[in-house]
Structure 1
Amino acid sequence: MNKHIYIYSPSGAVRDKAAFKRGVTRLKSLGHEVEIDEAALSSHLRFAGDDETRLAAIHRAAASGADVALISRGGYGLSRILPGIHYKAVAKAIDQGMRFVGISDFTAFQSAVLAKTGRVTWAGPGLCEGFGIGGKPNASNVQGAPPQLVPDDIMEACFDDLISGQGEGTGWRQLREPNSPATGAAPAASNEINLIASNVIYTRATASFGINKSVLWGGNLSVLSSLLGTPYFPEVKGGILFLEDVAEHPYRIERMLTQLLHAGVLARQKAVLLGQFTDFKLVPHDRGYKLQTVVNWLRQQIKAPVLTNLPYGHVATKVLLPVGAKTDLMVQGRDALLFWGHA
């Protein structure tokens, strides 16, 4: 289905121009009309242009009439320009059918839009890391030519579902973990009562439960925690919070989760979904402290279920998630399903 996709750069400067070009070529090969913002390849310090340039790019994207406004890449830069965004213009564009899509630093924009307008944006790929770099090598048709990298097929299928209006949910299988309350294969008996009290239907015999019509929100943990205490942090109660991060050691992940914990954010959620936490390196000093340690610790701190292995983050295979949409969560054993209908 041919759609109008607007490419803009609200965060870091595009350094990998080849990935940018590959991404544009890939989207065009899928039949889409691709419009590139005039400042998409701008550079100022580490940013894609100065603050005013990037603000103008956001507003041009909102006014473009495109079906999808897709960021070129993440990095850093959105947090510092949040006060200058015309949220009414963004909300109007969304109301008219535009879908804002991005990842990583884009969490700042998504959180601010949710806090200021209540509108839905989409956590998904960026142009360069999603469509421009790809994941799996595809055998070339030319004898002797090297394999060509192609975008992940699951990511592309989810993107196609989004722009065609057919996306209704996503399912995944959690990591296999020891069957004990400490690691969360099944909540402790005390948690069972609290889960039911929080409108979570939990069946201990089958380790299954369901959560109905809860706001899905979150994104990059580092970015989200940096917004705490600002007008751009969504005050979501009874929500489903999803989190991911990249190049952050588990103790740093725990430290950011602790900040959300002490601020009361985690206690207000019905579930926490942990996506992919990648590109960190453990050291001898850790002495067995690892990401699973953090997961176990988190489950001991909150009453809500903590799920693992959500296929979203700085990885090739990722689903698209509607930030701010009312969502149902169903879990049976290790299998989980998020359903949002036509968000």
Structure 2
Amino acid sequence: MHAPHSHDHDGHDHDHEAPARSLTIHSPSGVVAQGAALTRAQRHLRRLGFDAHVDDSARARSQRFAGDDDTRLAALHRVARDGRDIALASRGGYGLTRLLDRIDYPLIAQSIDAGKRWVGYSDQTAFQLAVLAHTQRPTWAGPLACDDFGRTPEQGGVDDITEACFAEAMRGELEAIGFRTEVGFDGLQARGTLWGGNLCVLLSLLGTPHWPRVKGGILFLEDVNEHPYRIERSLLQLQQAGVLDAQKAVVLGGFTDYRKSPLDRGYTLRSAVEHLRGTTRTPILTGLPFGHVPTKVCLPVGRRATLVVEGRDAMIGWA
């Protein structure tokens, strides 16, 4: 599923840095409803060898948010200054979009230049793409503390591949990930900026100052609780805005937990993807192990990457 043990380089001279070992769990978005999951995540990350610290306001609550906007913004800036190697979001939900106009992007860039890796997915997409738009610095699309490292045995426990991929990415050893895709893309090679994340969150940035204007990129997408027709509509908006045609490739991850409708009459996610393929010259691949699924890889958002397909075996590398 992933290719271990090499070294990463993101254009900011990190290739001789020490492996990332210290970690802060912070809550920039939704409220942490289950405090026990946060505790389990911290313990699990410590067992993995990370000096895991929980930010002071990670358990704050204000309506559906992990503290009011000022509290979450202050936490984001505090984590940027804390000198630890990794900033891991506790969970997604919603809340980062409220902060985008007020984030101190030079401070975030400074933290990344000093070696900090910002990690998460789902609502973290808003932060990751805004950082890319404002600073051209890389972040990591990867697991969330509670959702991935706070899972009970009844919930299936912590996924082995997610855990291994995260540990290798944070140690600077992960240089590529592999997955199986559909037939029809054998021989495809594409090189460009790797970017993307949650489709709905990404789409909400279109037309704002926080939208990264990536041309010739490799765009990866995932979503949850969205019916295939909504996925199709969102992707058509990207197509009609000129975004899909401007990419070298689009790679789809998990689109999960939606309810089928009696009105579908054979219409599926596959139908939606097939229709979209007829609207753009950009290849649209499926099968990326990323999204609201237990098994997820880590992907460096904003790094130059190469996509290669041999038969049905696809690889995205960024060494």
Listed one character per residue, the Cα deviations across residues 3-46 of structure 1 (whole Å, up to 9, x for unaligned) are 10011100000001121111011011122111111100000010
The structure where helix makes up a greater share of residues is 1
Q: How does 1:83-162 map to 2 (within 5 A)?
A: 83-133=101-151, 137=153, 149-162=156-169
Q: CA deviation at 1:281?
A: 1.3
Match of 1:315 in 2: 293
1:167 equivalent to 2:174? Answer: yes
Identity of aligned residues (%): 54
Amino acid at match of 2:222: E
- Are the equivalent residues in 1 in contact too, given 2:42–2:53 (CA < 8 A)? no
What residue number does 1:274 align with?
252
Q: How big is each residue's C-alpha offset from its partner over 1:111-158, in whole Å with a ceiling of 9 and x where there is no partner?
A: 100000000000001100110016xx5xxxxxxxxx785310101111
Q: Are 2:310 and 1:303 equivalent residues in the alignment?
A: no
Residue of 291, 295, 316 corresponding to 1:338? 316
Following the alignment from structure 2 to structure 1, what is the Cα–Cα distance between the partners of residues 36 and 73?
Answer: 25
Equivalent residues of 1:74, 1:104 under 8 A apart: yes
Matches of 1:76 and 1:259 in 2, distance apart?
Answer: 22
Please name the residue that 1:225 is paired with.
Answer: 203
**3-state SS in 2 of match to 1:83:** coil
Task: Give 1:32's match in structure 2, choosing from 43, 50, 67.
Answer: 50
After the TM superposition, which residues 189-268 of structure 1 pair with which residues of structure 2 at under 5 Å, given as runs?
207-212=186-191, 214-268=192-246
Contact 2:20 2:86 (C-alpha < 8 Å) held by counterparts: no
Shift in Å, 1:324? 0.2
Structure number with bigger Rg: 1
Equivalent of residue 264 in structure 2, options 279, 286, 295: 286
TM-score normalised by structure 2 residue count: 0.92
Contact kept? 2:20, 2:85, Cα under 8 Å: no
Aligned residues: 301
| Residue identity opposite 1:78 in structure 2 | L
Letter in 1 for 2:206: L
Q: Which has the higher contact order (CA 8 A, sep 6+)?
A: 2
Q: Which amino acid aligns with 1:42?
A: A
What residue number does 1:53 align with? 71
Aligned counterparts of 1:87 and 1:148: Cα–Cα separation in 2? 37
Give yes or no for contact 1:2–1:33 (8 Å, CA) kept in 2.
no
Aligned equivalents of 1:103, 1:235: Cα separation in 2? 20
Amino acid at match of 2:166: F
Equivalent position amino acid for 1:292 in 2: R
Q: Which one of the candidate residues 38, 44, 57 is aligned to 2:62?
A: 44
Gaps (5+ residues) in structure 2?
1-18
- Contact 2:88 2:119 (C-alpha < 8 Å) held by counterparts: yes
Change (3 A) 1:148 1:47: closer
Residue 266 of structure 1 aligns to a residue in which SS? coil
The one-letter code of the counterpart of 2:57 is A
CA deviation profile, 1:209-239 (whole Å, cap 9, x unmatched): 2113x00000000000011000001100000
List alignment gaps of at least 5 residues for structure 1.
Answer: 138-146, 178-184, 187-206
Contact 1:271–1:306 (Cα < 8 Å) also in 2: yes
> Residue 2 of structure 1 contacts residue 31 of structure 1 at CA under 8 Å; is this kept in 2?
no
Bigger mean CA offset, 1-10 vs 160-169: 1-10
CA distance in 2, matches of 1:304, 1:41: 43
Pair 1:46–1:148, CA change in 2 (3 A): closer
Q: Which runs of 4+ in 1 moved over 6 A?
A: none
